[in-house]
Structures are given as structure tokens and as C-alpha cells.
Amino acid sequence: MGLTGGIGAGKSTVAKTFIAQGAHHVDADAIAREVVEPGSPGLAALVDAFGPEILDADGALDRPALAARAFADEESTARLNAITHPLIGRRTQELIAAVPADAVLLHDVPLLVEGNMAPFYDAVIVVHTDADIRLDRLVNLRGMDREDARRRIDAQATDEQRRAVADIWLDNSGAPEELAEQALRVWNERLIPLRDNHTARTPAPLPTEPVEADPAWSVLGPRLVNRLWALLGDKAVRIAHVGPTADPGGPAVPVIDLEVTVADDAAAQAAAQLLHEAGFPSLSGETGRVHGAADPGRPARVYLRVDE
């Protein structure tokens, strides 16, 4: 699962709630700090690239000093990214590989939306708080300078961009206890069933009764198309949102139907197995051509077709 939200939104409350229930937490910010700790190859590489002036009196990274040099121009920023991104990526993969296969993995990524990472998760959880409330929290609770806090908020993804990728939207306009209660309900009603279905390679039950057309279908369809592209890559020729929810003319059964077109039978078999193991179990065995989503909160069906 991917967890994200704007600065000051309250992600830590949600993460703590999930961790208390047994989630395995992989924190992107913590990893970014770890790979440049004193004595690390990452910090040595930064000093080589930007000079000893980026160190404080204790030999640790002085982040404002680094920022002044690394974000001075595009070339310097690219140099910073070339050093840190591979280190962060390798350490992230090490931590993820150590998580048991039947666990709920929570990848906490503040810039998940900005990094276009949403398609790579079984589900994306967004913690939302209005920008003005976040600004007040950052200034009054964290002691940040108001203008600095505003710049950081404005530099991040918009609410609309986060909504476009959010499978689960948690509103944190109230007290922390209310957010924790929301998170616990999501854990019990969504994440655990998703985990169990994923582990057992079992599709979640699909609704059968039509409902009034929902504008959310036009957002969910492309989101799932992107998810399938992330899973299948060049094994697919085309992926499309099809069926009644793609162009509703009235009430429809609320199932997002997706059509994956592949080049031949061998590609269909390979794609079927990938889908079966990655959250879209087959309705008729590992190499079946019709799949359902393991996520009970996101009813979807995937049809595999061979290009003609």
C-alpha cells in the first residue's frame, strides 16, 4: 500500500494506527536520511560533489547548506539525484524484500503523487487536510516560519492531483483520534480483506445490481488502466476501460471493466499469471482470461484478448 499526503496532513497518525495493527512500515523520509548518515558512502559522495561546506560542525549533513548548492541550478539538482536516488531505491528494495509475503506493507511516501508512483501500489491511501489547516498546524505546532510553510505546501501536489490517484481518502479536518478511528476502519474493512484475497489469489465479490451513474467511474477507469500498464508493461498491446462504466448512459453495475489486448497466446498466458499473482486473480485458474480485483473496495474485472 502507498501512503501519502501533503506536509502537515497527518500521515504519521495513520501510519501509527496501521503499525499498531501489524503493518510493516517502510518510510521514504527515514530512508533518505539513513543513506546520508555520517560515515555513509552516500554522505561521502555528496561531499565530493558539493564540498565540505555541506557538513555541520559534527560532520553530519547540513541540509539547508546542501539545498543552497544542490538546487542552485538544474545541473546541480541532477547531480544530487544521481547520488541519492539509487541509494534510496536500493535500500527501499532491501526493506521491502524482507517483508513477509502475507504482510500488509505500508510504503510511506510524501511525494508519491509528484513522483508518479501511484500505479505501482495495490492501493493508494491519501490523508487529506485543507491547506489552511495544514499551514496553521505547521506554524503553531511545528514552529515553522509561515512563509516557508506556505512555500512547501504550494510546491507539493494539489488536492485534485491527489484525488485522481486516491483509492482511499482519509479526511483529517478533525481531531487526531477521529483520523485514527477512520484508519482503523479502513484497516479492518478494506486492507485486511485485500491482503487476504491477494494472498489466497481470490477475487473480491463483484456487485451485480445496477446503480445510478457515478462520475467517479471516469477517474477510476484510467487509474486502473495505469495500474495494469505498471504490472504488464510491454506484455500488453492495448489496455482500455470498456463496458457500461466507461460511457454510462444511465444506471450500470458498478464494476470497472478493463480490456487488455496482447499479441498472442503466449503473451496472454504470461499476462494472466502476472495478473493472478499481483492483485487481479483469475476467475478460472492461473491462466484464465477473465480476472477480478482482490480489492473489495474497487470492483473491477479484467478481460484478456489476443490481438487479431
Tell me the pLDDT tens digit for each residue of 172-230: 988 899 999 999 999 999 999 999 999 999 999 999 999 999 999 999 999 999 999 99
Instruction: Tell whether residue 235 is among the known ligand binding residues.
Output: no
Average pLDDT value for residue range 84-97 = 95
Instruction: Tell whether residue 22 is among the known ligand binding residues.
Output: no
Specify the higher pLDDT residue, 308 or 58. 58
pLDDT at residue 6 greater than cutoff 70: yes
DSSP run (H or E) holding 197: helix 192-200
Contact 203, 292 (CB under 8 A): yes
Angle at 204 between CA 199 and CA 206, to 5 degrees: 165
Q: For 35-84, what is each residue's pLDDT tens digit?
A: 999 999 999 999 999 999 999 999 999 988 998 888 888 899 899 999 99
Say how many CA atoms lie within 13 Å of 180 toward its Cβ. 10
Average pLDDT value for residue range 252-276 = 95
pLDDT at residue 118 greater than cutoff 70: yes
Please report the pLDDT score of residue 8 as a whole number. 85
Instruction: Tell whether residue 173 is among the known ligand binding residues.
Output: no
The DSSP 8-state label assigned to residue 130 in this structure reads: -
Residues of the chain with pLDDT > 70, as a percent, come to 99
Please report the pLDDT score of residue 137 as a whole number. 86
Instruction: Tell whether residue 9 is among the known ligand binding residues.
Output: yes
- SS3 call for 155: helix
Domains of the chain: 2-197 (3.40.50.300), 217-306 (3.30.460.10)
- SS3 call for 156: coil
Q: For 237-247, what is each residue's pLDDT tens digit?
A: 999 999 999 99
Q: For 7-47, what is each residue's pLDDT tens digit?
A: 888 899 999 999 999 999 999 999 999 999 999 999 999 99
Looking at every residue in the chain, the average pLDDT score rounds to 93
Residues of the chain with pLDDT > 90, as a percent, come to 79
Rounded Cα–Cα distance for residues 36 and 275 (Å): 37
Average pLDDT value for residue range 255-272 = 95
Specify the higher pLDDT residue, 229 or 157. 229
* Chain position carrying cell 508519491: 112
Instruction: Tell whether residue 10 is among the known ligand binding residues.
Output: yes
Q: How confident is the model at residue 286 (pLDDT cuts 50, 70, 90)?
A: low
pLDDT at residue 287 greater than cutoff 70: no
Please report the pLDDT score of residue 212 as a whole number. 96
Instruction: Tell whether residue 271 is among the known ligand binding residues.
Output: no
pLDDT at residue 288 greater than cutoff 80: no
Specify the higher pLDDT residue, 285 or 242. 242
Please report the pLDDT score of residue 285 as a whole number. 65
Contact 265, 159 (CB under 8 A): no
The DSSP 8-state label assigned to residue 100 in this structure reads: -
